[in-house]
Amino acid sequence: MPKILIIEDEEAVRENLLDLLEAEDFETIAAANGRIGVHLAISEVPDLILCDIMMPEIDGYGVLTALRQEPSTATIPFIFLTAKSAKSDFRQGMDMGADDYITKPFTRSELLSAIMNRLEKYATLKRYLSPQIVNNNLSPKMQLLEISLHRAIKQHNFQEFEIYYQPIVDIASGKIVGAESLLRWQSPELGMIYPTEFIPLAESTGLIIPIGKWVLKRVCQQIKSWRDAGINSLIVAVNLSAIEFNQPDFIHNLVNFTSVNNLEPHDLEIELTESMIMQDVNSAIATMSKLQSLGVKIAIDDFGTGYSSLIYLKNLPINTLKIDRYFIHNVAKDSQKSAITKALIQMAHNLNLDVVAEGVETEAELGFLRQHNCNSMQGFLFSRPLPAAEFENCLFTNKCLYV
Ligand code: C2E
Ligand code: MG
Ligand code: MG
């Protein structure tokens, strides 16, 4: 973990900083005055320094001057801590070559975001200065993301997560027939983080297993509450990662979550990608068949972007093909995309599969899909993914594709 040196003479502030940083798993060293601070910076070579400006003997400017003259410490990111009243102080500090400043009192997220930005710049600089050193480690930003993800799950018990629902609409009738559940993470220190950013990290750290379990559980509870409110025949799709799909207790958990909520398995659709299935076709087919025999629906997500496994398609136990939004974007005008999309719809229908077009953004795209008998659509044209309550509102007001 990055090592941070805190140089601060006020004990209360120093302790507070130590607590905050240690809670984030940073390695910390502290100095109660400028002289010790300079000494520790040279002997320990930290990755970042937080330094108070107003200190007796050697003040913050003195520390910065001393460190900038020493080759081993000259480039270490240096952040000044200043009192609110002292605007001219920070100007002077920045002019002397400090990298950033934080005014006291600061919030946890201000502190962390300043640290993260500086560490990231420093990592880039180090790579640039020594290109022969291949850095296999995570960037500071990814490290912070990983720490925050761990904490969001283990300490904060998923409170920072929310499941959004994007309507899936029947093209012929214009009515909502389903929803895709899409995970969102609102991190207090990093802001809104999208799944394309944190799912790969969750997969590489194994955190996807508790996350996936939580998603499945919450989605089942949500369907139950919609059933209780009189909303029937709405199919909710859940995205799976390969790791979750290959967990030995995956089916057991799914059955458990549906049965405790009195749901029918066909209320759920599982979205798998071609590449997940192709990793080990036989074992995937076995799991998919088991799911299907229970009544759970199965969709192939992002179809067309993975292996073009057309031969396998007829042997796969699936219900739905979701055409990737790459093909749908501008489909009415791009002759190659329209030829492919037409062929995909036709082929899926010959195999008795439903077809959902993903990422429909324009009337022209919708018109093309309607003309070629695509069953359903999903996309910003009708609605973005929504928090559960807003999605529910669309249902209660009978929001329709055609007005
Ligand atoms: P996906 O399953 O293909 O989901 C569709 C993505 O397209 C969503 O991105 C959605 O917000 C976006 N989208 C929908 N309509 C439009 C449109 O008209 N235009 C454009 N440009 N985009 C549109 P999102 O929510 O960022 O999710 C990204 C991916 O993250 C998903 O792709 C899925 O693979 C994964 N993911 C999301 N939630 C979960 C989850 O709970 N578990 C797992 N394992 N993966 C998830
Ligand atoms: Mg999906
Ligand atoms: Mg998709």
Ligand 1 atom nearest to 183, measured from its CA: 38
Tokens found for residue 144: 């912070």
From residue 361, give the alpha-carbon distance in Å to each of 127, 332, 357, 383. Answer: 41, 12, 11, 9
The DSSP-derived string for 231-273 is --S-EEEEE--HHHHT-TTHHHHHHHHHHHTT--GGGEEEEEE
pLDDT > 80? residue 251: yes
Q: How far apart are CA 359 and CA 325, in angstroms?
A: 5
Q: Beta-carbon neighbour count of residue 56 at 10 Å?
A: 9
Ligand 1 in contact with 385 (CB < 6 A)? Answer: yes
* Numbered ranges of CATH 3.40.50.2300 in the chain: 3-122
Q: Please give the single-letter amino acid code of residue 59.
A: D
- State the fold for domain 3-122: Rossmann fold (3.40.50)
Architecture of the domain spanning 143-396 = Alpha-Beta Barrel (3.20)
User: Which of 21, 82, 80, 89 is closest to 49 using CA atoms?
Assistant: 80
pLDDT > 80? residue 265: yes
The predicted-structure confidence for 295-352, as pLDDT tens digits, reads as follows: 999 999 999 877 656 777 888 999 999 999 999 999 999 999 999 999 999 999 999 9
- Best residue among 239, 360, 401 to mutate for probing ligand 1's pocket (most ligand atoms within 8 Å of CB) is 239
Give pTM, 2 decimals.
0.72
CB proximity list for 256: less than 8 A, separation 6 or greater: none
Per-residue confidence at 130, pLDDT binned at 50, 70, 90? very low
* Numbered ranges of CATH 3.20.20.450 in the chain: 143-396
Ligand 1 in contact with 306 (CB < 6 A)? Answer: no
pLDDT > 80? residue 48: yes
pLDDT > 70? residue 125: no
Ligand 1 in contact with 273 (CB < 6 A)? Answer: no
Q: In what order do the strands lie in the sheet with 27-31?
A: 27-31, 3-7, 48-52, 78-83, 100-104
Helix, strand, or coil here: 198?
A: helix
Q: Atom 20 of ligand 1 has which residue's CA nearest to it?
A: 359
Q: What is the 8-class DSSP label of residue 365?
A: H
Ligand 1 in contact with 304 (CB < 6 A)? Answer: no
pLDDT recorded at residue 253:
94
The predicted-structure confidence for 149-161, as pLDDT tens digits, reads as follows: 998 998 889 999 9
Kindly state the average pLDDT of the residues 228-248: 93
pLDDT > 90? residue 136: no
Q: Atom 37 of ligand 1 has which residue's CA nearest to it?
A: 182
pLDDT recorded at residue 124:
66
pLDDT > 80? residue 192: yes
Place of tokens 């709405």: 234
